[in-house]
Amino acid sequence: MPTFASALDRVGLAASIAIQSRALELAAAGRKILSLAAGEPDFDTPEPVCEAAIKAIREGKTRYTRVDGIDELKDAIIEKFRRDNGLDFNRSNILVGAGGKQVIYNALRATLNPSDEVVIPAPYWVSYPDITRLCDARPIFVNTTADNGFLMTASQLDAALNANSRWLILNSPCNPSGAVYDAKALQKFADVLRNYPDVRILCDDIYEHTTYVPARFATLASVAGDLGGRILTVNGVSKTYAMTGWRIGYGAATPSLINAMRTIQSQSTGNPSSISQWAACAALSIPSNVIDGYRNIFMQRRDKVCEMLGRINGITCALPSGAFYVYPDISGCLGKKTPAGARIDSDADFARALLEEHGVATVHGGAYGLSPNIRLSYAASDSLLDEALSRLRTFCETLE
């Protein structure tokens, strides 16, 4: 019989996708499923973005583009970095991909070899370790705690780095914890990283515009300009502009790294969707008050969800500083059974039973490298959140 690549033995389907697939199966069977598993805004894509896409179609902008993106979008990205982050780039510093995930994969695939290591604070976005493994390298996890706001310290970073280290991945605001590294913390990381000149830094800033006061967003390239030659700053339009399905992400780095990433992209997918690129041009010029409005809605939902979780026995929840997730600790529910007889010995058991018995989809913390927790997205309507949290409370109250 034909065989499959051994690399598949090192990775699996992303847990958030797997739980969403199971939720869809149950819904198709007639169950009313409330999903708090998906990491995407529930808002419609802004009208000017949709109009720009329609205009591009009507003008026949439907052909191949440059592999790494059209100049007009690169210019819009350059302006975004100048306006929002005080960073100066030119077109040779920019690559546009089919989502931020592709940009990250391109970078790691272009730079990693067997025995190389990638340092990843936990909890982490589910794809960082598996992309690392697909590139034949080894993820090195740095565990954080709720007591410290799920933030890695400079001393922890220093202890994790060695001669085999090739990348540090920083995701701030963080999926799933909502942790935000401020400029002071990034400066301390920079002090450590100056002692490790062979280490590149990937700053995944995709949740940049969902940072809640009093926290303030900062990115390493702005804080430590002398490390700029080693930094890849990744961002995109999916979370900020409710454009997850449009699949546009981008990265900014030295031309040598961008060229290497372009080579990978040229042999995997080619250019991102031409229509989505023109839509992204419009998105990056959306007035800031629109973004502020989205953020205010998310912050109100965060506060409500955390308040509701705080009234559920067996669950504790820290108030996140960014993104649109909460990452509650469910340790008080372990060792119990559901009325249907399912035993809750792990956060995976908890998430599975919550979905199967009460129709609420969440993602278990083990998928993000830190247990016992679950991740709930509050990028959902108030009515859905109210009903889902009510079901969650009932589920916890009936555990024995």
pLDDT digits over 223-247, tens only?
999 999 999 999 999 999 999 999 9
The number of domains in the chain is 2
On the CB side of 307, how many CA atoms lie within 13 Å of its CA? 8
Residue 364 in any domain: the answer is: yes
* Mean pLDDT computed over 288-311: 97
What does the DSSP 8-state code read for residue 177? T
The residue among 367, 238, 392 whose CA lies nearest residue 314 is 392
One domain for residues 305 and 351: yes
For the cut 90, the answer to whether the pLDDT of residue 7 exceeds it is: no
Euclidean distance between CA atoms 39 and 285, whole angstroms: 23
Summarised one tens digit per residue, pLDDT across range 154-193 is: 999 999 999 999 999 999 999 999 999 999 999 999 999 9
Euclidean distance between CA atoms 44 and 122, whole angstroms = 31
Q: Which of 286, 320, 354 is the last residue of a domain?
A: 286
Q: What's the rounded Cα separation, in Å, for the pair 9 and 131?
A: 13
25 shares a domain with 67:
no
pLDDT at position 13 over 80: no
- Domain membership of residue 224 (yes or no) is yes
Q: Which two tokens stand for residue 223?
A: 């804080």
Shared domain for 279 and 342, answered yes or no, is: no
- Please name which of 134, 210, 128, 130 lies closest in space to residue 168, comparing C-alpha atoms: 128
Nearest to 15 by CA among 356, 380, 364: 364
Q: Which strands form 117-122's sheet, in the order they lie side by side? A: 94-97, 249-252, 231-236, 200-204, 165-171, 117-122, 138-143
Angle at 143 between CA 38 and CA 370, to 5 degrees: 40
Q: Which domain holds residue 366?
A: 6-44+289-397
Rg over CA atoms, the chain: 21
Q: Which of residues 255, 286, 317 is at a domain's end?
A: 286
* Burial status of residue 27 (CB atoms within 10 A of its CB: 0-12, 13-18, 19 or more): middle
User: Which pLDDT tens digit goes with each residue over 55-88?
Assistant: 999 999 999 999 999 999 999 999 999 999 999 9
Phi, psi of 173, rounded to the nearest 5 degrees: -55, 150
Residue where a domain stops, chosen among 286, 315, 343: 286
Q: Do residues 174 and 236 share a domain?
A: yes
pLDDT tens digit string along 345-384?
Answer: 999 999 999 999 999 999 999 999 999 999 999 999 999 9
Cβ–Cβ under 8 Å, residues 238 and 276:
no
